[in-house]
Structure 1
Amino acid sequence: LVTEGSFTNLFVDGPDGALLTPPATLGLLPGVLREHLIADGRAREAQLTLDDLQHGFWLGNGLRGLMRATLI
Structure 2
Amino acid sequence: MSDQWGLCKGCKWWQIEPDATVEDQTVGFCIEQDLQQFKIRITGNGGCNMFVAGKPARAEGSSEKPPTAEPVR
Q: TM-score, normalised by structure 1?
A: 0.30
Higher relative contact order (CA 8 A, sep 6+): 2
Q: TM-score, normalised by structure 2?
A: 0.30
**Which protein is richer in helix relative to its size?**
1
**Which protein is richer in strand relative to its size?**
1
